[in-house]
Amino acid sequence: MNTNIEIPALARVEGEGALYIRLKDGKVAEIELNIYEPPRFFEGFLRGRHFQEVPDITARICGICPVAYQMSSVQALEMALGVTVTPEVYALRRLLYDAEYVESHALHIYLLQAPDLLGYESVLSLAEVAPEVVKNALHQKKIGNDLLKAIGGRSVHPVSSCVGGFYRWPRKMQIQALIPDLEWGLEAAIETVRWAATLPYPDFEILDYIYVAVHHAGEYGILSGNILSSKSGQIEPVDFEKHYIESHVRHSNALHSHTASGQVYVTGPMSRVNLNYEQMGPAARKIMSEIGLKLPIRNPYKQLLARAIELVEVHEEALRIARAYDPQGPSHANVIAKAGEGFGVSEAPRGLLYHHYVLDDQGMVRHARISPPTAQNLARIEADLWKLAPKVIDLPQEKATLECEHLVRSYDPCISCATHFLKLKIEDL
């Protein structure tokens, strides 16, 4: 191949982006992951809003992972307001988050990334030759959506979460009714791992990844915890902005992240599985051992496999919480407006999501700062492409293009999220 790779509109990603790889004298000269998704200025119009409006507003940053935005924001605001939630609220939040993982991961594994590995342009084409595989995938995805609906009223932008807990407990009957589906889903997830282990991932590894993920000593780190780096250990959410810096590059409407010492890092399923496998439950650990998975995962294409393992983990956790669900007492804390500052982190399906708010004495937002996972991963994706491109430029154009596009897709980038805020100065390259 001796021409440039140009993908003016990336398909099967959330949001709008383009990829350009330019060659000069047969060598890769320029790589540009161009994010042209329009900025929507969320952090600007959060100012002046009441704290209880924030989770509903931030949900709209992303239709694929609204629960992540709600959970990072309510936890940051609860810290600002000095509120502690009950163990029952915490458990139901984990269940709600598990539901979002099932929906989002099933979507990405089967509908967005698998067509690349199986040689189809979409799941719709795949369905023409293997309808049973696709029906099974859609059924798995639906279980996540049904659980989201049972807890939150609807699957996209659910309405039940508030600062302090939930507006109302879902009825016990509604949750229990989903247990047989979750039991089926757990088995289907285990089969998904077995299948994912056989897929023909491109042979490509990055040896110097810095993995970063939320880490919780007592559970698989999704809802809350500290921030753990494979290179520099743990920090608390309050110190995030000191250790992880964002800067703006000209070709992108999103910010690029790096550590305080200037290194790019990766967040998402690969980091979570690599850093938090010890906190996984027996089902996920058993299937990892069955397929003989060696950690750390270093092949970014294998993020599909990491997602499949997480599907097992979240199903097992969801079953545990759903079986024990028997809410007693108030569904939310009594929250009194006051001035304060708070920080919240959680793991969106595609990676670490950090929120920071300052409230005035009436509980109105004075300052908001949100760092979404895809913005953190963009610099890492470009770095991966710099490693990949020289290996593929000798392939036929179509195959080279597909390998690059597939690499981007394997990160499950949510470009809508990445550009929702934009405030730093533009820096010329």
| Member of 123, 175, 283, 311 binding another protein (CB under 8 A) | 123
- Of 154 and 323, nearer to another protein (C-beta) is 154
Which two three-digit tokens encode residue 189? 């997830």
Query: Could you say which residues in the range 7-46 bind another protein, by CB under 8 A?
Result: 9-16, 36, 38-42, 44-45
Q: Which residues pair with 235 in a beta bridge?
A: 227
Minimum CB–partner distance for residue 72 and another protein (Å): 16
Query: Could you say which residues in the range 157-176 bind another protein, by CB under 8 A?
Result: 157, 159-160, 162, 166-168
Query: Could you say which residues in the range 137-156 bind another protein, by CB under 8 A?
Result: 138-139, 141-142, 145, 152-156
Q: Which residues pair with 227 in a beta bridge?
A: 214, 235
DSSP per position, 369-400: EEE-HHHHHHHHHHHHHHHHHHHHTTS-HHHH
How many angstroms separate the CA atoms of 4 and 24, rounded? 9
How many angstroms separate the CA atoms of 45 and 225, rounded? 28
How many angstroms separate the CA atoms of 254 and 422, rounded? 7
- Residue 60 as a binder of another protein (CB under 8 A): the answer is yes
Query: Could you say which residues in the range 62-91 bind another protein, by CB under 8 A?
Result: 62-64, 66
x-marked contacts with another protein along 376-415 as a string, rule CB under 8 A:
--------------------------------------x-
On the 0-12 / 13-18 / 19+ scale of CB atoms within 10 A, 157 is: middle
Minimum CB–partner distance for residue 280 and another protein (Å): 27
Which two three-digit tokens encode residue 85? 């939630």
Element (H, E) at 349: none
- Of 49 and 387, nearer to another protein (C-beta) is 49
* DSSP assignment letter at 207: T
At 121, give phi and psi (nearest 5°). -80, -15
Minimum CB–partner distance for residue 105 and another protein (Å): 14
- Of 181 and 209, nearer to another protein (C-beta) is 181
- Of 115 and 344, nearer to another protein (C-beta) is 115
Minimum CB–partner distance for residue 211 and another protein (Å): 27
- Count of residues near another protein by CB under 8 A: 71
Minimum CB–partner distance for residue 273 and another protein (Å): 25
